[in-house]
Amino acid sequence: MVLEGNPDVGSPRTLDLQHPANKGSCILSSPGEDALPGEEPIKYGELIVLGYNGCLANGDKGRRRSRLALSRRPHANGVKPDVMHHISTPLISKALSNRGQHSISYTLSRSHSVIVEYTHDSDTDMFQIGRSTENMIDFVVTDTSPGGGAIEGPSAQSTISRYACRILCDRRPPYTARIYAAGFDASSNIFLGERAAKWRTPDGLMDGLTTNGVLVMHPAGGFSEDSAPGVWREISVCGNVYTLRDSRSAQQRGKLVENESNVLQDGSLIDLCGATLLWRTPAGLLRAPTLKQLEAQRQEANAARPQCPVGLSTLAFPSPARGRTAPDKQQPWVYVRCGHVHGYHGWGCRRERGPQERECPLCRLVGPYVPLWLGQEAGLCLDPGPPSHAFAPCGHVCSEKTARYWAQTPLPHGTHAFHAACPFCGAWLTGEHGCVRLIFQGPLD
């Protein structure tokens, strides 16, 4: 799938900044670099928003969706730093009036600003992500509430920037993808005001952070069965890596991490302060289960004819085509503290402990009693293992490796808090392990 968007948006690399005396003309793509008509475009990777389990509540439509593939554009649209100007702040609006000229402006004081102009880069494609629905945004992302679903409506206060970040992909192998904070607006500008965190780099260039920041976490060991969560870092406007600020919007930046980069890896997490995205590479997606495999696992689980130990009724996971509405009559339910699976029944209520608190009739442990739902977003799975574990307390089911990885992965929340959450619905995980092994009872015959 080729993304539609403003063909002029692009992204800088700090090291590409040239001295004004070395300013060169725009280098156009040579024949043969662009995709041929009818040719399948090369996929750079896919972005998956955590918390939606395969589809937005109101359906995936256009640029507002739960998952988006980034593919090589018919024509390169990247830009890179070119010339830096020092100007008087009152004259900045005039300097930024050329819509065809991409630039980043840094307001240092009421009287002094720095503007960095950009020039076309024929070697890169640029994709922009944010809350804005303007044409220059390729992937429209809204705030995700814990428990699943977007926060919408006139009263909803979003913490995601309209132009949150941009991803720059090399058009030639190995098709490296790099992430940068902030995106260009309708006037092709990025504006860092007087209160924004900004500074001069040791080599005399400029850099800065956005208000709520763009955080990135690269998993240790890749996104596979042996993965472990990495360390959360903040990405600057020029793509440099820093330790986290004391709070999300603090003006004092963290320390530069020189041995890490803004290159996205399979399984990298991108947090936009309101929504978290997962980056999957084409090679990584080949290791993930397919929707056909997930459906075969559902049918295999149902073919085993698990039974409710109390009602002795046969249980069955409903088809994903039904959507997540009210639980089906045959829906499996689980006591999330112990993992014993039952059908729905009214036995063992402990209302003094809460409306969902029940006592398991098999082991007498008291805890939440919830319906089980299969995880349907295959890109969130580390392996194609059987659906053997459920997240607590939401009841989403996946493989053991997938459940344990996400249960130990802290996701940013608010200004400085972190919580492990279910990747399929966004619910904060509870209990000692955040997930539980499911214990099914087979048929008596």
Tens-place pLDDT, residues 400-438: 999 999 999 999 987 778 999 999 999 999 988 999 999
- Indicate if the pLDDT at residue 116 is higher than 80: yes
Q: Which amino acid is at 181?
A: A
pLDDT at position 6? 36
Residue 13: band (very low, low, confident or very high) from pLDDT cuts 50, 70, 90: very low
Residue 94 host element (H or E): helix 92-95
Output the average pLDDT for the chain.
85
Percent of the chain with pLDDT over 70: 83
The predicted model gives 66-95 an average pLDDT of 85
Three-state DSSP state, 295: helix
For residues 48 and 280, what is the distance between their CA atoms, to the nearest angstrom? 8
Residue 324: band (very low, low, confident or very high) from pLDDT cuts 50, 70, 90: low
Give the β-pairing of 269-271 and 276-280.
Answer: antiparallel
220 within 8 A of 228, measured Cβ to Cβ: yes
Q: Among 16-25, 132-141, 308-317, name the most confident range.
A: 132-141
- Indicate if the pLDDT at residue 21 is higher than 70: no
Q: What does the pLDDT look like over 167-183, one tens digit per residue?
A: 999 999 999 999 999 99
Give the β-pairing of 373-374 and 396-398.
Answer: parallel
Does pTM top 0.75 for this prediction? Answer: yes
Paired with 333 in beta bridges are: 342, 371
- How is residue 311 annotated by DSSP? T
pLDDT at position 302? 93
- Indicate if the pLDDT at residue 16 is higher than 60: no
Distance of CA 369 to the CA centre of its chain: 30
Residue 297: band (very low, low, confident or very high) from pLDDT cuts 50, 70, 90: very high
Paired with 171 in beta bridges are: none
Complete DSSP assignment for 196-213: S-EEE-TTS-EEE--SS-
Residue 444: band (very low, low, confident or very high) from pLDDT cuts 50, 70, 90: low
For residues 329 and 320, what is the distance between their CA atoms, to the nearest angstrom? 15
Sheet holding 189-192, edge to edge: 78-87, 113-121, 103-107, 189-192
- Indicate if the pLDDT at residue 371 is higher than 80: yes
- Indicate if the pLDDT at residue 99 is higher than 70: no
- Token code pair at residue 142: 């809204």
- How is residue 263 annotated by DSSP? B
* Burial class of residue 17, CB neighbours in 10 A (0-12, 13-18, 19+): buried
- In the numeric block, the tokens 């190995």 are attached to 174
For residues 421 and 413, what is the distance between their CA atoms, to the nearest angstrom? 10
- Indicate if the pLDDT at residue 28 is higher than 60: no
Residue 354: band (very low, low, confident or very high) from pLDDT cuts 50, 70, 90: low
Residues sharing a CB contact under 8 Å with residue 408, sequence separation 6 or more, in sequence order: 228, 229, 420, 434
Peptide bond into 174 cis (omega under 30): yes
* CB atoms near residue 417 (< 10 Å): 10
| Lowest-pLDDT choice from 15-29, 339-353, 361-375, 390-404 | 15-29
The predicted model gives 376-384 an average pLDDT of 93
The distance in angstroms from the start CA to the end CA of the chain is 50
pLDDT at position 24? 32
- Indicate if the pLDDT at residue 194 is higher than 90: no
* Burial class of residue 163, CB neighbours in 10 A (0-12, 13-18, 19+): buried
Helices (DSSP H) in 215-358: which residue ranges?
282-287, 291-303
Helices (H) and strands (E) in the chain, counts: 4, 27
Residues sharing a CB contact under 8 Å with residue 114, sequence separation 6 or more, in sequence order: 84, 85, 86, 87, 105, 106, 108, 206
Q: Among 2-6, 45-49, 113-117, name the most confident range.
A: 45-49
